């Protein structure tokens, strides 16, 4: 019988059971981040700045140094840390509620500075930890605990397209939106996460990857239905794509 076990190296901490709900996309993304760090050989230099919310647990499952930032301030923490310790590989890991709501100002200014840091934003379209309230990325018509009749864009605004806001910033060198809806999406997402870290390793500038993931608990759907929702509704609006890749341009030069 073929041995299907995989050596994740030292980055992924397999000794701890995660607190993520069944079907939560955070587990997949945490694994992808750990794999990228391991493959690039940067574990001893990596420092995670985690936000408030379910994403704040991610550093428990990776054997790397980490700082728990105040709500929405992970990008600012990362900028400060990188200025103080430029040899470290600094990345933020937080959800859409943390990054695109209270933290949107910190995020955009960090990106505009062009600092060589990396942001991984987990977008599950709700405030997951606090009960499934509407976030800036909640889809039009989506039912949450604070939008029981669905998000009404006429007075609650449209779902926020975060990478599109940063595309014109010259300091942003790698910018992508990926998804975990299918195995194919996950394989492509890993390439983007690795590239985002490589961008920082090479000192090119700011890198950002938005990850589209389901929250079965917040959506009040089964795991299977949540991934169908992710593949159709979420990916339909938040279309996975590479917005900017100056890594390739730099390689060509």
CATH number, domain containing residue 168: 3.40.50.970
In a domain, 250, yes or no: no
> Contact, 118 vs 207, CB < 8 A?
yes
Tens-digit pLDDT profile for residues 80-122 = 999 999 999 999 999 999 999 999 999 999 999 999 999 999 9
Provide the pLDDT for residue 252: 56
Structure confidence at residue 57 as a pLDDT band (50, 70, 90): confident
**Distant-in-sequence, close-in-space partners of 46: CB < 8 Å, separation ≥ 6:** 37, 64, 65, 88, 89, 91
d(CA 47, CA 68): 11
In a domain, 219, yes or no: yes
In a domain, 119, yes or no: yes
Structure confidence at residue 253 as a pLDDT band (50, 70, 90): low
d(CA 92, CA 177): 16
- 3-class SS of residue 91: strand
Structure confidence at residue 21 as a pLDDT band (50, 70, 90): very high
- Please state the domain count of the chain: 1
d(CA 30, CA 124): 14
Provide the pLDDT for residue 231: 98
Residue 89 β-bridge partners: 46
Q: Which domain holds residue 13?
A: 1-245
> Contact, 103 vs 75, CB < 8 A?
yes
**What's the farthest any 2 CA atoms get from each other in the chain?**
59
């Amino acid at each position: 019988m073929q041995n299907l076990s995989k050596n994740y190296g030292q980055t992924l901490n397999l000794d701890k059971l995660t607190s993520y709900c069944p079907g939560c996309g955070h587990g997949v993304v945490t694994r992808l981040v750990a794999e990228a760090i391991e493959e690039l050989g940067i574990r001893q230099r990596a420092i995670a700045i985690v936000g408030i919310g379910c994403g704040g647990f991610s550093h428990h499952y990776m054997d790397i140094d980490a700082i728990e930032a105040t709500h929405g301030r992970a990008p600012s923490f990362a900028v400060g840390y990188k200025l103080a310790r430029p040899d470290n590989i600094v990345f933020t890991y937080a959800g859409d509620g943390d990054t695109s709501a209270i933290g949107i100002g910190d995020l955009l200014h960090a990106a505009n500075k062009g600092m060589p840091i990396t942001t991984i934003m987990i977008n599950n379209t709700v405030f997951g930890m606090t009960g499934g309230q509407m976030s800036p990325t909640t889809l039009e018509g989506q039912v949450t605990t604070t939008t029981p009749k669905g998000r009404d864009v006429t007075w609650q605004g449209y779902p926020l397209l975060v990478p599109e806001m940063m595309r014109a910033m010259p300091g942003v060198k790698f910018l992508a939106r990926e998804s975990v809806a299918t195995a194919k999406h996950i394989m492509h997402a890993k390439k983007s996460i690795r590239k985002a870290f490589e961008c920082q390793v090479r000192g090119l500038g700011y890198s950002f990857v938005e990850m589209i993931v389901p929250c079965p608990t917040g959506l009040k759907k089964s795991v299977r239905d949540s991934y169908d929702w992710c593949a159709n509704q979420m990916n339909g609006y938040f279309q996975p794509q590479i917005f900017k890749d100056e890594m390739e341009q730099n390689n060509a030069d």
